[in-house]
């Protein structure tokens, strides 16, 4: 394995410091308060309050929510333990063949186009991993050197044709049903803006080439999309965009007179299947001293709503956004990546994006390899003397200060893995993420309403030294009187403990912990029942639906969330009297501001209009506030 692969080298490596824009914001953070591990002393806990509104839906958890990257150069990817570990973490998507290697990978020969080196894992082995885990596939086709790889075929092909052959092999010949495909990886790193880590043979050599900016990428991506969808029209093809406020967003050059996103989007328009975005909130000290800080990383997730809002303002309406790579630091990972802080960041990273309606988040990655040259100083929490992007150890060794340093046994989970596992327990496809807010700036709160009516609350304590007694209040949900089940990930992050402790109204959370509280609905105080009437009006290709919701219980509702699943392939295009969101066939409707209060025995209604292609079969089951309704 080459060290460039372990370090995920192409991130920002040659980017001028002046171009690093808002990604350098954490450099001014003072890390003094985060340098020390939580001590054994237990001072009195500080009070905090968390309010959960179970009737205020943020988003439905998609079937593609929890993803991770797997790479062709990862020899441990085929280990027998890996499928079970990924399933235990709730993994929905596995992206392949992995980062920069995507743009130098010949899938037919399983080799690196530039070096000729044979890779450790081929596409068939990746397909086996998908079958073993039940995860969906996401494949990044070779844009950077695809034409070179295609020219070696007999007869010779273009890169677009070689990519189409891959779609045919996967979905026509072997019926794998891989839905998500991407055109290249981080192509904006091809030298257009000075940063040059991504191989791209469309470009001339030298800094800031004029012949390979975003317009060239868009033109070639159009040919890729056309060729690939001609083989399988059902696939969804994503294109490379930049995260708002992160390099090179907003930058221009001789080869890019308009910024990357604007150029690509104006050229491709509605041909795009999804926006492919990467986000690494920190830069290493070799680029922007003083480098990563624990407090800076944990605060960075607050940027997510603004990034989503900005990105959606650039995109066609309803275009899915997928964060196909994310981790804590953009290159040269240090001790933070293998410590509890990165696990806490992982929770906030995923839930921040998913709460904004993002379709998929993919962690970088399953295994990656030891790096001893990153930030390992005493200002960061933990005792490790190395970093690793992987959630699992690959048992590699390296030297630091003249001594040999080794990772634990292969497939040993790092704390980020347990963060992923706790996340997989917290959210399940079809669940509804609902509003939660905290009065303490270092206590992050999230909540999800499950289809069975239960409520799960996640509390992340970003404070390295303070415990909090959290007082919990609920709207639209009344928990029963039993002590809740509480799952906790605590330092050093080597496992999750599950107990029955505290009450639904009060939980004490220790420093640097992620805590999941599972609450069951009460049998009194809660809405007593519901009835839903659905009235469709259907015509070829279109329909309207009217829904009447009746409170058949004895207690008024102060807010309501209705949910159902279409029996056909209907897609809602507009709605009235409710905020309606759709993920696949699953639909969630949340009351408007004027019709949330429904007295016992009273009714309210909402409606929508949409389209359909093959079937307009109506839904057969409805829930309101988690209760199954008569219909």
Task: Using the predicted structure, report yes or no on whether residue 527 has a pLDDT greater than 50.
Answer: no
Task: Using the predicted structure, report yes or no on whether residue 126 has a pLDDT greater than 60.
Answer: yes
At 14 the pLDDT is: 32
Please name which of 344, 332, 335, 356 lies closest in space to residue 277, comparing C-alpha atoms.
356
- Calculate the average pLDDT of the chain: 90
Q: CA-CA distance, 458 to 514, in Å (whole number)?
A: 7
Q: CA-CA distance, 617 to 624, in Å (whole number)?
A: 21
At 513 the pLDDT is: 98
Q: CA-CA distance, 488 to 510, in Å (whole number)?
A: 10
Q: CA-CA distance, 391 to 333, in Å (whole number)?
A: 13
Task: Using the predicted structure, report yes or no on whether residue 591 has a pLDDT greater than 90.
Answer: yes
Using one digit for the tens of pLDDT, what is the confidence trace for 385-419?
A: 999 999 999 999 999 889 999 999 999 999 999 99
Task: Using the predicted structure, report yes or no on whether residue 28 has a pLDDT greater than 70.
Answer: no
At 603 the pLDDT is: 94
CA 303 to chain centre: 15
Task: Using the predicted structure, report yes or no on whether residue 525 has a pLDDT greater than 80.
Answer: no
> How confident is residue 17, by pLDDT bands cut at 50, 70 and 90?
very low
Task: Report residue 182 as tokens.
Answer: 């991407």
How is the chain split into domains, by residue range? 530-628
Task: Report residue 595 as tokens.
Answer: 């019709």
Task: Using the predicted structure, report yes or no on whether residue 35 has a pLDDT greater than 50.
Answer: no
> How confident is residue 625, by pLDDT bands cut at 50, 70 and 90?
confident
Number of residues that this document lists for the chain: 631
Task: Using the predicted structure, report yes or no on whether residue 535 has a pLDDT greater than 70.
Answer: yes
Kindly state the average pLDDT of the residues 277-291: 82
At 25 the pLDDT is: 30
At 267 the pLDDT is: 97
Kindly state the average pLDDT of the residues 353-357: 96
* DSSP structural state of residue 38: P
- In percent, the amount of the chain with pLDDT more than 90 equals 77
Cβ-proximal residues to 139 (8 Å cutoff; 6+ apart), any chain: 95, 96, 97, 166, 170, 178, 180, 181, 182
Strand order in the sheet with 571-576: 530-539, 542-551, 603-611, 571-576
Q: CA-CA distance, 432 to 216, in Å (whole number)?
A: 41
CATH for the stretch 530-628: 2.60.40.290
Kindly state the average pLDDT of the residues 434-444: 96
At 8 the pLDDT is: 40
Q: Minimum mean pLDDT among 33-42, 43-52, 113-122, 547-556: which range? A: 33-42
Q: Minimum mean pLDDT among 55-69, 211-225, 356-370, 613-627: which range? A: 613-627
> How confident is residue 528, by pLDDT bands cut at 50, 70 and 90?
low
At 453 the pLDDT is: 83
Phi, psi of 431 (to 5 degrees): -65, 160
Q: Are 503 and 443 in contact (CB under 8 A)?
A: no
Task: Using the predicted structure, report yes or no on whether residue 565 has a pLDDT greater than 60.
Answer: yes
At 209 the pLDDT is: 86
With b for 16 or more beta-carbon neighbours within 10 A and e for fewer, the 361-380 pattern comes to bbbbbbbbbbbbbbbbeebb
Pairing between strand 432-438 and 561-565? unpaired
At 34 the pLDDT is: 35
* Beta bridge partner(s), residue 274: 238
């Amino acid at each position: 394995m080459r060290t460039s692969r372990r370090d995920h080298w192409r991130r920002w490596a040659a980017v001028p410091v002046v171009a690093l824009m808002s990604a350098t914001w954490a450099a001014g953070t003072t890390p003094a308060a985060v340098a020390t591990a939580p001590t054994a002393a237990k001072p009195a806990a500080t009070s905090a309050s968390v309010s959960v509104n179970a009737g205020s839906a943020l988003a439905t958890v998609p079937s593609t929510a929890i993803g991770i990257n797997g790479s062709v150069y990862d020899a441990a990817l085929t280990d027998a333990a890996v499928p079970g570990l990924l399933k235990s973490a709730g993994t929905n998507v596995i992206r392949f063949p992995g980062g920069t290697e995507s743009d130098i990978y010949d899938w037919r020969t399983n080799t690196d186009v530039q070096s000729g080196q044979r890779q450790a894992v081929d596409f068939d082995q990746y397909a086996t991993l998908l079958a073993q885990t039940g995860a969906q596939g996401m494949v990044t086709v070779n844009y950077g050197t695809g034409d070179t790889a295609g020219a070696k075929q007999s007869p010779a092909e273009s890169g677009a044709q070689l990519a189409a052959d891959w779609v045919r092999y996967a979905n026509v010949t072997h019926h794998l049903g891989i839905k998500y495909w991407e055109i290249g990886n981080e192509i904006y790193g091809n030298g257009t803006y000075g940063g040059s880590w991504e191989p791209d043979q469309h470009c001339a050599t030298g800094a800031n080439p004029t012949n390979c900016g975003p317009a060239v990428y868009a033109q070639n991506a159009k040919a890729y999309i056309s060729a690939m969808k001609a083989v399988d029209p059902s696939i969804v093809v994503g294109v490379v965009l930049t995260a708002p406020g992160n390099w090179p967003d907003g930058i221009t050059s001789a080869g890019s007179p308009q910024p990357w996103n604007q150029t690509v989007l104006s050229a491709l328009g509605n041909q795009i299947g999804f926006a492919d975005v990467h986000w690494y909130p920190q830069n290493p000290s070799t680029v922007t001293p003083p480098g990563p800080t624990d407090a800076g990383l944990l605060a960075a997730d607050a940027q997510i709503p603004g990034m989503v809002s900005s990105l959606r303002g650039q995109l066609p309406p309803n275009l899915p956004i997928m964060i196909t790579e994310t981790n804590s630091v953009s290159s040269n990972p240090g001790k933070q990546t293998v410590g509890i802080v990165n696990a806490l960041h992982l929770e906030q990273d995923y839930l921040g994006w998913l709460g904004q309606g993002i379709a998929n988040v993919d962690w970088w990655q399953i295994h990656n390899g030891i790096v001893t040259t990153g930030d390992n100083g005493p200002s960061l929490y933990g005792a490790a003397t190395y970093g690793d992007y992987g959630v699992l150890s690959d048992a590699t060794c390296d030297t630091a200060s003249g001594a040999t340093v080794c990772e634990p046994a292969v497939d040993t989970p790092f704390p980020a893995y347990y963060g992923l596992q706790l996340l997989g327990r917290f959210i399940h496809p079809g669940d509804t993420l609902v509003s939660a807010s905290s009065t303490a700036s270092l206590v992050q709160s999230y909540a999800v309403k499950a289809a069975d009516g239960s409520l799960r609350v996640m509390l992340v304590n970003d404070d390295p030294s303070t415990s909090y007694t959290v007082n919990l209040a609920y709207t639209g949900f009344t928990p029963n009187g039993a002590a809740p089940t509480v799952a906790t990930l605590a330092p050093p992050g080597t496992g999750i403990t599950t107990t029955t402790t505290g009450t639904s109204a009060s939980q004490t959370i220790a420093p640097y912990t992620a805590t999941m509280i599972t609450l069951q609905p009460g049998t009194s105080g809660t809405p007593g029942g519901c009835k839903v009437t659905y009235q469709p009006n259907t015509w070829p290709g279109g329909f309207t639906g009217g829904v009447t919701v009746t409170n058949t219980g004895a207690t008024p509702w102060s807010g309501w969330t209705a949910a159902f699943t279409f029996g056909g392939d209907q897609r809602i295009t507009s709605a009235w009297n409710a905020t309606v969101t759709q993920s696949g066939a699953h639909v969630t409707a949340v009351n408007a501001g004027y019709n949330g209060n429904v007295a016992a025995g009273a009714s309210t209604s909402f409606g929508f209009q949409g389209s359909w292609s093959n079937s307009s079969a109506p839904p057969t089951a409805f829930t309101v506030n988690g209760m199954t309704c008569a219909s």
